[in-house]
Amino acid sequence: MTDRRATAARKPEERGTADELTRRLFHGLPRTDQRRWAGAYVTGLLTTPGRKSVRNMGLSLYDSHTAFQSLHQVVSESTWSWSAVRRELADWCRERTALHGWALGRVTVPKRGRCSAGVHRRFDPATGRTVGCQLGLGLFLLTERGALPVDWRLYLPDEWLDDPTLRRRARIPETARPGSPARLMLDLAAAADGSAAPVVAEAETVTEAAELVEGLGALGTDWILSVPGATPVSAGLHRLARTPAGRAPAGRALTAADLARQLQGSARPLGPATPEAPRLLPAQVHTAQSAAPLRMAASWAPGHRTPQRIWLTSLHGERLGEAAPLFTGHAVGTDALAGLDDCGLRDFEGRSYPGWHRHMTLVSAAYGHRLLEPARTRGTVPASTGRPAAELVGAGTSGAWAA
């Protein structure tokens, strides 16, 4: 990478932005130019107005029309390991805020054309349309300041792994193997071990719910999973007969929505007793994939019998009560996604698999700095959220989970 210190002096007003964080994250990078330009990239994501393209960031940070080339190279063409930087980022975040849980979230990144790694046609629930996109799966720390991403996986449909030409052009490593989005989320959940905090996730389909229930149970971690109403369940002591993932047993199986309607009158509030708050059903629940009994919670709109949302969880007793705020809202709130967008989440212009991972790592670092540094130094809510970030995981948390 070319050293442009003589021609690309950083503007004085940008000096010092995120310097402490970038020194911490990039001290292990083998080359001085890698450390310098990775830090500049984070600063650009934090301070450049509008779209965070490498050209815009280069012009915003430096008195040079060629600085963008180094910003592009440190992400798309460099060799540094994003995994080590993400581990450092997770440690840095946990030193500055209490951990209440881990969340598994998904991010749809619209893309034109077919050249960016992992791009495919997919239904986007947020827009109600089928779009060409990349699908990113993220591991988030759930904290009193908000949801902070610390690890990522990129979903690769079979055609990207089976076609040698596509694989070579996108620089997809041999270690990348086929796997559903749920399998990638479970891979992320496995990286969250070493903490008693529960994992929070959302299944979009019955099949995905079955895969996540089985996989999270196998990891041995506590978890809270939002599931579709059509998820087959049984109440009481008997486990459902095992069937292929997501397929209902023979005959008309009891669904989670059926059980919620039957027990609505005897469900008790889980946390503050507001009309639409989650309520805990008075029964132990089994699915075909759960070796141990589960608990089930649901929320209803006033005057309705069909639940708005349903959760299955491995938590019981006091731990279930302590985790009540984690049932509120979605695993990763819209404010967190909006804040990540403001840090350039969807602005990466490169096409390679390594480039995507390095960009997402640096976006996560920028967002972590934006949320945690103001909280630590001034006690204020970051301007990007517009409301206390504790609301992203529910207000009134009784305390952090021990590491």
Model confidence at 114: pLDDT above 50: yes
Beta-carbon count within 10 A of 203 CB: 23
Least confident residue range of 11-15, 58-62, 68-72, 108-112: 11-15
Model confidence at 2: pLDDT above 70: no
Three-state secondary structure call for residue 197:
coil
Mean pLDDT on 158-185: 94
Model confidence at 334: pLDDT above 80: no
Look-up: residue for tokens 């997501």?
Answer: 246
Model confidence at 12: pLDDT above 80: no
Whether 160 and 118 have beta carbons less than 8 Å apart is answered as yes
The pLDDT, as a whole number, for residue 4 is 39
Model confidence at 167: pLDDT above 60: yes
Distance CA 201, CA 105 (A): 7
Model confidence at 320: pLDDT above 60: yes
* Residue 317, token pair as written in the block: 């007793």
Longest dimension (CA), the chain: 75
Model confidence at 376: pLDDT above 60: no
* Non-local CB neighbours of 77 within 8 Å, separated by 6+ positions: 355
113 band by pLDDT with thresholds 50, 70 and 90: confident
Q: Could you give phi then psi for residue 72, rounded to 5 degrees?
A: -65, -45
Distance CA 249, CA 242 (A): 8
The pLDDT, as a whole number, for residue 235 is 87
148 band by pLDDT with thresholds 50, 70 and 90: very high
Would you say how long the chain is, in residues? 403
* Residue 364, token pair as written in the block: 């996560």
Model confidence at 193: pLDDT above 50: yes
241 band by pLDDT with thresholds 50, 70 and 90: low
Mean pLDDT on 190-200: 84
The pLDDT, as a whole number, for residue 331 is 63
Model confidence at 301: pLDDT above 60: yes
Mean pLDDT on 258-277: 89
Whether 397 and 100 have beta carbons less than 8 Å apart is answered as yes
Beta-carbon count within 10 A of 204 CB: 15
* Residue 78, token pair as written in the block: 């460099």
* pTM for the model: 0.85
DSSP notation for 277-321: S-EE-SS-EE-TT-SS-BEEEEE--TT-SS-SEEEEES--HHHHH
The pLDDT, as a whole number, for residue 244 is 55
**pLDDT, the chain, mean:** 84
Angle at 283 (CA atoms; ends 278, 286), nearest 5 degrees: 100
Model confidence at 246: pLDDT above 60: no
Beta strands in 177-228, from DSSP E residues, in sequence order: 199-202, 223-227
Q: Annotate 256-268 with b (16+ C-beta within 10 A) or e (fewer).
A: bbbbbbebbeebe
Q: Give the distance, in angstroms, between the CA of residue 367 and the centroid of all CA atoms in the same chain.
A: 13
Mean pLDDT on 90-104: 93
The pLDDT, as a whole number, for residue 249 is 46
Nearest to 202 by CA among 276, 107, 116: 107
Distance CA 265, CA 269 (A): 11
The pLDDT, as a whole number, for residue 275 is 79
Higher pLDDT, 355 or 10: 355
Distance CA 287, CA 214 (A): 9
Nearest to 143 by CA among 90, 94, 86, 92: 94
Higher pLDDT, 338 or 187: 187
Mean pLDDT on 161-186: 94
Domain ranges of the chain: 1-80, 97-198+343-361+372-396, 199-322
Mean pLDDT on 189-200: 85
